[in-house]
Structure formats: C-alpha cells, structure tokens
Chain A
Amino acid sequence: MMKHLLLSLALIVLASAANAACYADYKAKMDNPLRLHYGVIELPASACSVGAAASNIAARLSGGGWQLLEVMSVFDESGLQSRRNRAGQYYLRF
C-alpha cells in the first residue's frame, strides 16, 4: 500500500516535472531552540506564484514542525542547480 502510494506520488512528481515544472525557495524556522533553514520546494502548477505558494508551502512544512517565514522566489528547473548547494539537506525535502 505504502509503496504503491510512493510510486504514484513519484509518478505525479515526474508528470508535473515533465510539464512546465515550478519550484520555489523559502525561509523557515522552528522555535525552542531557534532553528532556521533555507530550502527549495516543488510546487503544483496551480500554486506557481509567490503569493499563491505561501499557504501551500506552509501546510507542507508544518508537517515537519517548521514554520514558513518567507517565500523568496518562484522559478523553473533552470534555477535549481544554482540553489542546490545552498539548500543542502532541504533541497526538495518537503
């Protein structure tokens, strides 16, 4: 069941990537003690703008206990490589 779900998720991801893929980079925090991170996240085409992405990203981050501070920008695959190093372990993590 789990495997099946993952597979379908991967398929969806691949499918959307095949489309005009949409990504965003953001800043997030976690309290007590304060921890911060910069990450890159993939967005569905329906939320492919700085304004629309915020609620989408916030909901996905809160699953990991993180709180969204700011959506910095929205970009496509061409912007991925330059951000990969900076995002580190938070590159496409959520």
Chain B
Amino acid sequence: MRDNTTSASEPRLTGTRVVQFGILAVVVILSVAAVLLFSYLPDANAFNEAVEEIFVVNDALTTTESIRILEILAQSGTTFSEVLASYRAIIFVLILFATALLVACLVFLLTIVTLNRRIHLIEQSGIQVSSLVLNREEGVVALNNMDFKLTAAAMETLSVLAEARLDDDVLSGAEIEAMVSGRPAVDCEEAAGATRIKRLRDTLGNQMVSELLVKNIARRGYMLAIDKAVIKMN
C-alpha cells in the first residue's frame, strides 16, 4: 500500500524514468526503421537477375540487337540502384535528424512539466521576493516591482537588516538599535530594537497588504485585489 504522503522527489524520479523510456523507444523505433530501410532496398544485382530471367524465359530474344537492348536495360537498372543507394544515405541522415529532434522534444517536454510544477508551487507559497532595492535618498524600497515608501527611521532599520543579511549575520534588537543610533551595543536596550522592527513591519506590511490584497480605490472605497475564482467560504 502507498504511504499517505507525497514527496517532491517522487514525481521527478518517475519523470526521469519516463524520459529514459521515451528516449529508448524513439531510438529503438528509428533504428528498426533504419535496419528495414537498408534491408528492403534492392541491391544492384536485383536488376541484372531480372534481366537474366527475361533472357532465359524468352527464346525470341536471341538476336544480337535484342540482346544488346537487354544489356542496356540491365545497365540502366544498375545505375538506378546507385541512385537508390544515395537516396538511402539521405533517408538515413534524415532518420538521424528525426531521432535527435524527438529526443530533444521529449527533454523539453519534461522541462516544461517540471517548470509548470515549480511555478504552481511558487504561486501557492505566496509572495516570493526576487529583488529588493533600497533607495535611501528617496526613502523608497522596491520589492519585486512594487514600490513602498518608508519613513527615515524604518528605512534605516531595513538598511541595517539588509547589510546584516549580506554578511549572513543575525542581529539582536540591541545590536539593531546600536547600529541605527550609533551608540555602543551595551548601552542599548533590546526593547528599542524590537520597537524599530515592529514599526518597520507595520509600515511595510500595511503597504504590502494594501498593494496585494486590500486595495484602496480613490474616492470609491476598498476592494480585495484577487481573482473571484480563488475565494471559497467554508
């Protein structure tokens, strides 16, 4: 029985298996086609044998002229079989191309499926920050492509946090207060830093929610900025 859990690696595993099967199937089918192609085309001697057969069966074809014509027939057949051989080479090259294209298609298909799955996950996980630009002079922070206006103090707090993140540091409330105010950390209170964080959260969170969720339409009122279809009431 299957477990009642799902894991992200499971579909990826079956996906690679599907691709391996697919590539194998494509290669097998097309190599079978190539083998058939090479085995079913008549060889150069087939035409000569046919002409020989005609010569043996028909006793009327024994004059010098008719024999000459039969020989010419055989030669043109041989020439034609050389043409066929070149066609065969061309078809074989085309089969190689087809194999490469089909394999590439399969790989791309799998890539698209995995990307879709990832996009779905991203959509479900809410806001994903892909860029954070701090503009200290204007007091504006750009999250993805949304601009939020911050007070000077909140801007200062966010800058300190951003710098600490760049250095992979974790700051305590006292350290934040120390860096913003410029005093030594031992003289600063933990609560002062916590207050700064709270104010930053308030101002940024408020703006973010109004941008993403509760929209304010000027002189008309308020409205949820989401698709109707996603709302469910239990």
Chain B residues proximal to chain A, CB less than 8 Å: 48, 51-52, 55-56, 59, 62-64, 67, 70-71, 74-75, 78
Q: Are A34 and B64 in contact (CB under 8 A)?
A: no
Partner of A36, one of B55, B59, B78: B55
Residue of A at shortest CB range from B45?
A31
User: Are A69 and B75 also in contact (CB < 8 A) when A38-B62, A86-B64, A88-B64 are?
Assistant: no
Report, as a range, how many residues of chain A touch the other chain.
10 to 19
For the complex, what is the distance from the CA of A36 to the CA of B71, rounded to whole Å?
7
Q: Are B64 and A36 in contact (CB under 8 A)?
A: no
- Closest beta carbon of chain B to A61's beta carbon, Å: 15
For B59, the chain A residues whose CB sits under 8 A away are: 72
- Closest beta carbon of chain A to B38's beta carbon, Å: 22
For B56, the chain A residues whose CB sits under 8 A away are: 27, 69-70
For the complex, what is the distance from the CA of A62 to the CA of B67, rounded to whole Å?
20
For the complex, what is the distance from the CA of A31 to the CA of B51, rounded to whole Å?
12
User: Please, what's the 1-or-0 string for A55-94, where 1 marks a CB less than 8 Å from any CB in chain B?
Assistant: 0000000000000011010000000000001101000000
For A88, the chain B residues whose CB sits under 8 A away are: 64
Q: Are B64 and A29 in contact (CB under 8 A)?
A: no
Q: Are B48 and A27 in contact (CB under 8 A)?
A: no
For A27, the chain B residues whose CB sits under 8 A away are: 55-56, 62
Q: Are B67 and A31 in contact (CB under 8 A)?
A: no
Q: Are B71 and A33 in contact (CB under 8 A)?
A: yes
- Closest beta carbon of chain B to A50's beta carbon, Å: 13
Q: Are B62 and A34 in contact (CB under 8 A)?
A: no
- Closest beta carbon of chain A to B67's beta carbon, Å: 5
Q: Are A86 and B51 in contact (CB under 8 A)?
A: no
Does A35 interact with chain B (Cβ within 8 Å)?
Answer: yes
Q: Are B52 and A33 in contact (CB under 8 A)?
A: no
Known contacts A34-B48, A34-B52, A36-B55; can you find 11 more A-B pairs with CB under 8 A?
A: A27-B62, A31-B48, A33-B71, A34-B51, A34-B78, A36-B67, A36-B70, A36-B71, A69-B56, A85-B63, A86-B62
For B71, the chain A residues whose CB sits under 8 A away are: 33-36
Residue of B at shortest CB range from A25?
B62
- Closest beta carbon of chain A to B82's beta carbon, Å: 12
User: Please, what's the 1-or-0 string for A21-39, where 1 marks a CB less than 8 Å from any CB in chain B?
Assistant: 0000101010101111110
Report, nearest first, the 8 A-B pairs whose CB atoms are least far apart. A38-B62, A34-B74, A34-B48, A88-B64, A36-B67, A86-B62, A70-B56, A36-B55
For the complex, what is the distance from the CA of A35 to the CA of B48, rounded to whole Å?
9
Q: Are A69 and B52 in contact (CB under 8 A)?
A: yes
